[in-house]
C-alpha cells in the first residue's frame, strides 16, 4: 500500500491533515504543558479547557442553546442503544416508538426490546432498506416516551432530511453518528442527539450526546451511576476518567470546522458538491452500477453501490487499492461497495475516485 | 512549565518514551499501511493483528491460560462496577461479597447495590482506610456469587499481596486498575481480573478484562448486548467499534514490557526499588511527614503522604512543579500528596523526587 492512501472507509474515517499534524506533536509534548497528551490528567486545568472548548465549539457550530447539556461519553452508539431506554422509557406514559430503516436503526430497535416494551412504527426491512418514511406522517403519539430514528444509515447509504421544530409530537431522539457536523441541523427539533466520533468528529472511543435538560427529569432513580445521563451532566463529562486523547482530537476537529472550514453551512456546500460529483459519475455509468438507495433518500455521507456482481466489485476494490484508494468494501451485511464521504475526505479524493470508477467501468464494458 | 516534565500523576500516567515515539509517527502514517492510525478500520487485517498481539502479549506476560478470555472494553472500571453484578450476581445461590478498603472499592460496593443484593464482608472506612484485611481469613462462602476486591487502592496507597490459587472458596474478582502489569500475579487464583489502561497500560479509554470462560455460563440471558460479557468474548472485542488508537498504544506498551523490560519479574524488581527509595526517603524525614498507609500495606504504585499541614503540602507541590515534577496532588477525597510510581516512571525520576523532598524538608525544619 502507498503512503497517503485516500480513505473512503465507513469508519473510523479520515481526519483533517492539520488536525493530524497537531495531534502528532502533542503525543510527545503539548505546547502549553510540556507533557504528552497521553499522560495529561483528566483533572488538570488543561483538560478542563479542552472539554470547555469542545463544548463551546459544538454549541457554536450547531446553535445549541443552554436548554441542552453537551456530554462526552464512552461505549459508542451501541451503549446508547441500551442507555436511552434505561433512562427515558421507564417513567413514560406510553412506550417509545422506533423507526427501523437500516442495519443500525434495526440494531437500536432490537437492543431497546431488552430494556423496555417498544413499538416499531415503520420497518423498511422487507423492502431491503432502500427508502425512508416521512417522519411527520407517522403520527407518533405525544404520550410516547420518545421517537428514535437514525438520521443517516451508514450501511445502506440512506439519509433523512433535517427535522422541523415541532414536527413530531413526542420527544425526538436521533442517532446522528454518520452525519453529525456534516451540515447545519435544527437542533431545537430534538430532545436528544448522539453521535460517536469515528465518522466526522475524531477517533473511535468517544460519543457526543446533546440532551435537552427537561428530559433529564424523566430518568428513574437507582440506575448505576455510569449508566445514568445525569451523572455525566452533573460532572461535566468528567465523572470517571474520560477518553482524554479522543476528546482532545475531537476538540481540534471542531476548531478546524469553525476556523478553517468556516462553519457547517460551508461544510455542507462542500459535502453536497462531493456527493453530487460521485452520484453523477455513478448515474452516468447507467446499468453498469446500481446505487442501493432510492434517489430521493440518497445519503451525502455514504454511497452504497454495486457493479451487480461480487467478482466485479472485488476487482474494483483491487484496482482502487492499486491507485491508493482504500476502505471501499461494502458492509458485511449487504456486501457490494461503499464510498464514505465524511468531512475530511477532500474534493480531490472524490475526483480521483470518480476517475477510477469511470475508467474501470469503460475497461469492463 | 518545562519541557519533559516528570509525571507522578495518579492517572492518566506516564507512558514509555519509545512507545510515545512510535505513536507519534503512527498519527500521520503507520509504517505497514501508509495510513493514520486514527483512520484505520476496526475491521482491517492490521487491527486484527493489533488485537491479536495485545492479547498474546498479555497472555505471555501474565501466564494467562486458554481457560480465560482476554477482552478489551470501554467505560473504565466504573462501567465494570455495574457490569459485574449484572452478569454474575443474578443467577448465583448467594449474593456477592464486597471488601471495602478505600475510595475505589467503596465505589464498586455502592454501585453493586444498585444492581443486586450484596454483602460487605470487611469495611475499613471507620478507620480511615489505612490497612487491609487478610482475604483468606474472611471466610467467604463458596456459594457466594463472587468476592470483589481492589488489589491496589490508588487514592490511599494500599496494596494487597497477590492471592494464592484456591485461597478463596468463591469466584474471585479483582479490580487491578492501578497495579496490573506492575508485577507477576497468580492469574489462576482469579475468576476475573480487570484494569483500565491509564495507569500502566496505555491511554484512558480502554479497559482490559480477563474472564474465566466457565464464569460466562452464569450470565443471565436478556442483557443488552453491549453489557453482556459474552458479546465481547464472542466478537473478540470487535463487536462495535473499539477504541482502536487506545488498543494500539496498549499493544505497544505490552511489547515494551515483553522486549525492552524483559517481562514482569524484571518490571517488579524495578518497581520495588523505586518504591523502596521513596519510602526510605519519607521514613528518613521522621515526624515531618506521614504516610497514609500502615507500613505492612504500603502500595508499590501509589505513595500517599502529607506534611501534616495543607499549606505545607501546597508549598511542596509548588516547589516540585518549579523543579519539573508534576501530578503530586493527593486525591480530592483525602487531600495531601501522592506520588504514583507506575511502570513508565523511571528510577531517575524517583531519585529526583527523593532529592526535592529531602531538600524541601530540610529548608522547612
Q: What is the pLDDT of residue A328?
A: 97
The answer on A297 and A327 residing in a single domain is: yes
Which set of grid coordinates corresponds to residue B112?
Answer: 453493586
pLDDT tens, A252-261? Answer: 999 999 999 9
**Crossing angle of helices B45-62 and B244-255, rounded to 10°:** 40
The answer on A246 and A319 residing in a single domain is: no
Per-residue pLDDT band for B14 (boundaries 50, 70, 90) equals confident
CB contact under 8 A, A224 and B36: no
- List CB contacts (< 8 A) between B39 and chain A: 7, 9, 12-15
Q: What is the pLDDT of residue A2?
A: 38
Mean pLDDT computed over A215-235:
98
Q: What is the pLDDT of residue B4?
A: 61
Per-residue pLDDT band for B13 (boundaries 50, 70, 90) equals confident
Mean pLDDT computed over B342-360:
97
The answer on A337 and A288 residing in a single domain is: yes
Per-residue pLDDT band for B32 (boundaries 50, 70, 90) equals confident
Q: How far is A34 from chain B (nearest CA, A)?
A: 4
Mean pLDDT computed over A97-105:
98
CB contact under 8 A, A245 and B241: no
CB contact under 8 A, B38 and A15: yes
Angle at A106 between CA A101 and CA A110, to 5 degrees: 150
Q: For cell 518549579, what's the residue?
A: B322
3-state secondary structure of A198: coil
Residue A276 lies in a domain: yes
Task: List residues bridging with A148 in a β-sheet.
Answer: A98, A173
- List CB contacts (< 8 A) between B249 and chain A: 38
Q: How far is B246 from chain A (nearest CA, A)?
A: 8
Residue A22 lies in a domain: no
Q: How far is A253 from chain B (nearest CA, A)?
A: 13
Q: How far apart are CA B199 and CA B152, in angstroms?
A: 12
Q: Are strands B302-306 and B337-340 parallel, antiparallel or unpaired?
A: antiparallel
Q: Which of A8, A3, A30, A11 is nearest to A249 (CA)?
A: A30
Peptide bond just before B104 cis, omega within 30 deg: no
Q: How far apart are CA B17 and CA A78, in angstroms?
A: 34
Per-residue pLDDT band for B1 (boundaries 50, 70, 90) equals very low
Which set of grid coordinates corresponds to residue A307?
Answer: 457493479
- In this complex, the residue of A29, A226, A244 whose CB is nearest that of residue B203 is A244
| Residue after which a domain boundary falls, among B231, B261, B291 | B261
Q: Determine which one of B2, B122, B123, B175 is catalytic.
A: B175
- Mark whether A260 is an active-site residue: no
The answer on A93 and A46 residing in a single domain is: yes
Mean pLDDT computed over B123-146:
95
- In this complex, the residue of A14, A35, A223 whose CB is nearest that of residue B114 is A223
| Residue after which a domain boundary falls, among A261, A290, A317 | A261
- Dihedral sign for Cα atoms in the order B3, B8, B13, B14: positive
- In this complex, the residue of B41, B114, B239 whose CB is nearest that of residue A327 is B41
Residue B164 has pLDDT above 90, yes or no: no
The answer on A227 and A342 residing in a single domain is: no
3-state secondary structure of A148: strand
Q: What is the pLDDT of residue B166?
A: 86
Q: Work out the percent of chain A whose per-residue pLDDT is above 70.
A: 99
- Mark whether B199 is an active-site residue: yes
Residue A283 lies in a domain: yes
Q: Is B172 left (phi over 0), alpha (psi -120 to 50) or beta?
A: beta
Specify the number of domains making up chain A.
2
pLDDT tens, B69-118? Answer: 999 999 999 999 999 999 999 999 999 999 999 999 999 999 999 999 99
Q: How far apart are CA B328 and CA B213, in angstroms?
A: 40
The answer on B173 and B36 residing in a single domain is: yes
CB contact under 8 A, B243 and A205: yes
Please, are residues B223 and B90 in contact by the beta-carbon 8 Å criterion? no
pLDDT tens, A36-52? Answer: 999 999 999 999 999 99
Residue B13 lies in a domain: no
The answer on B27 and B87 residing in a single domain is: yes
Which set of grid coordinates corresponds to residue B55?
Answer: 492479547
- Mark whether A309 is an active-site residue: no
3-state secondary structure of A177: coil
CB contact under 8 A, A82 and B227: yes
Residue B113 lies in a domain: yes
For residue B165, the domain's CATH number is 3.40.640.10
Residue B346 has pLDDT above 60, yes or no: yes
Q: Is A76 left (phi over 0), alpha (psi -120 to 50) or beta?
A: left
Q: How far apart are CA B303 and CA B282, in angstroms?
A: 10
Q: Which residue of A has its CA nearest to B33?
A: A1
The answer on A239 and A156 residing in a single domain is: yes
CB contact under 8 A, A114 and B224: yes
| Residue after which a domain boundary falls, among B232, B261, B290 | B261
The answer on B295 and B149 residing in a single domain is: no
3-state secondary structure of B28: helix
ipTM of this complex: 0.96
Q: What is the mean pLDDT of chain B?
A: 95
Residue B203 has pLDDT above 90, yes or no: yes
CB contact under 8 A, A9 and B246: no
Burial B227-246 (b: 16+ CB within 10 A, else e): bbbbbbbeebbbbbbbbbbb
Contacts of B55 (CB under 8 A, 6+ apart): B70
Which set of grid coordinates corresponds to residue B97?
Answer: 461479597
The answer on B185 and B320 residing in a single domain is: no
Surface-to-core class of residue A312, CB atoms within 10 Å of its CB (0-12 exposed, 13-18 middle, 19+ buried) = middle
Q: What is the pLDDT of residue B273?
A: 98
Residue B183 has pLDDT above 90, yes or no: yes
- In this complex, the residue of A4, A111, A327 whose CB is nearest that of residue B34 is A4
Mean pLDDT computed over B24-49:
93
Mean pLDDT computed over B306-332:
96
pLDDT tens, A306-327? Answer: 999 999 999 999 999 999 999 9
- In this complex, the residue of A11, A39, A203 whose CB is nearest that of residue B245 is A203
Per-residue pLDDT band for A3 (boundaries 50, 70, 90) equals very low
Residue B182 lies in a domain: yes
Which set of grid coordinates corresponds to residue A5?
Answer: 492512501
Please, are residues B14 and B21 in contact by the beta-carbon 8 Å criterion? no
Q: Which residue of A has its CA nearest to B2?
A: A34
CB contact under 8 A, B38 and A249: yes
Residue A23 has pLDDT above 50, yes or no: yes
- List CB contacts (< 8 A) between A327 and chain B: 41
Which set of grid coordinates corresponds to residue B251?
Answer: 499493544
Q: How far apart are CA A151 and CA A210, in angstroms?
A: 15
- List CB contacts (< 8 A) between A42 and chain B: 12, 204
Tally C-beta pairs within 8 A across A and B. 197
Mean pLDDT computed over B123-134:
96
The answer on A252 and A112 residing in a single domain is: yes
Q: How far is B19 from chain A (nearest CA, A)?
A: 10
Q: Domain of B290?
A: 263-364
Q: Work out the percent of chain A whose per-residue pLDDT is above 90.
A: 93
Q: How far apart are CA B355 and CA B357, in angstroms?
A: 5
Residue A24 lies in a domain: no
Residue B1 lies in a domain: no
Residue B277: Cβ within 10 Å count: 16
Q: Which residue of B has its CA nearest to A11?
A: B41
For residue B293, the domain's CATH number is 3.90.1150.10
pLDDT tens, A157-167? Answer: 999 998 888 88
Q: Determine which one of A179, A199, A256, A313 is catalytic.
A: A199
The answer on A249 and A114 residing in a single domain is: yes
Residue B67 has pLDDT above 80, yes or no: yes
Please, are residues B92 and B219 in contact by the beta-carbon 8 Å criterion? no
Q: How far is A165 from chain B (nearest CA, A)?
A: 32
Please, are residues B267 and B253 in contact by the beta-carbon 8 Å criterion? no
Query: What is the pTM assigned to this prediction?
Result: 0.97
Residue A255: Cβ within 10 Å count: 16
Q: For cell 479490580, what's the residue?
A: B175
Q: How far is A37 from chain B (nearest CA, A)?
A: 9
Q: What is the pLDDT of residue B137?
A: 93
- In this complex, the residue of B7, B25, B114 whose CB is nearest that of residue A39 is B7
Amino acid at each position: 500500500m502507498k503512503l497517503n492512501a485516500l480513505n473512503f472507509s465507513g469508519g473510523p474515517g479520515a481526519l483533517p491533515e492539520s488536525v493530524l499534524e497537531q495531534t502528532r506533536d502533542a503525543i510527545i509534548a503539548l505546547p502549553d504543558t510540556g507533557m504528552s497528551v497521553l499522560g495529561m490528567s483528566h483533572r488538570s486545568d488543561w483538560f478542563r479547557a479542552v472539554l470547555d472548548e469542545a463544548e463551546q465549539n459544538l454549541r457554536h457550530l450547531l446553535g445549541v442553546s443552554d436548554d441542552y447539556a453537551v456530554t462526552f461519553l464512552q461505549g459508542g452508539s451501541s451503549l446508547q442503544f441500551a442507555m436511552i431506554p434505561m433512562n427515558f422509557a421507564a417513567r413514560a406514559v406510553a412506550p417509545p416508538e422506533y423507526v427501523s430503516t437500516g442495519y443500525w436503526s434495526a440494531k437500536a430497535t432490537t437492543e431497546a426490546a431488552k430494556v423496555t416494551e417498544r413499538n416499531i412504527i415503520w420497518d423498511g426491512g422487507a423492502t431491503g432498506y432502500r427508502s425512508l418514511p416521512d417522519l411527520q406522517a407517522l403520527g407518533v403519539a405525544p404520550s410516547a416516551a420518545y421517537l428514535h430514528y437514525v438520521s443517516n444509515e451508514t450501511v445502506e447509504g440512506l439519509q433523512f432530511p433535517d427535522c422541523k421544530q415541532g414536527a413530531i409530537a413526542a420527544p425526538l431522539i436521533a442517532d446522528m453518528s454518520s452525519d453529525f457536523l456534516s451540515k447545519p441541523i435544527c437542533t431545537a427539533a430534538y430532545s436528544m442527539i448522539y453521535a460517536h466520533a469515528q465518522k466526522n468528529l475524531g477517533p473511535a472511543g468517544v460519543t457526543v450526546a446533546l440532551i435537552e435538560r427537561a428530559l433529564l427529569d424523566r430518568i428513574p432513580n437507582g440506575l448505576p451511576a455510569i449508566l445514568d445521563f445525569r451523572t455525566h451532566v452533573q460532572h461535566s463529562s468528567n465523572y470517571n476518567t474520560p477518553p482524554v486523547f479522543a476528546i482532545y482530537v475531537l476538540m481540534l476537529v471542531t476548531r478546524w470546522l469553525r476556523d478553517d472550514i468556516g462553519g457547517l453551512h460551508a461544510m455542507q456546500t462542500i459535502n453536497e458538491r462531493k456527493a453530487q460529483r460521485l452520484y453523477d459519475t455513478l448515474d452516468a455509468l447507467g446499468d453498469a452500477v446500481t446505487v442501493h438507495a432510492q434517489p430521493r433518500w440518497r445519503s451525502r455521507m455514504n454511497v452504497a453501490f454495486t457493479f451487480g456482481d461480487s467478482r466485479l466489485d472485488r476487482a474494483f476494490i483491487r484496482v482502487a487499492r492499486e491507485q491508493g484508494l482504500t476502505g471501499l468494501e461494502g458492509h458485511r451485511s449487504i456486501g457490494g461497495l461503499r464510498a464514505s464521504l465524511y468531512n475530511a475526505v477532500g474534493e480531490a479524493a472524490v475526483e480521483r475516485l470518480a476517475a477510477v470508477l469511470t475508467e474501470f467501468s469503460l475497461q469492463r464494458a
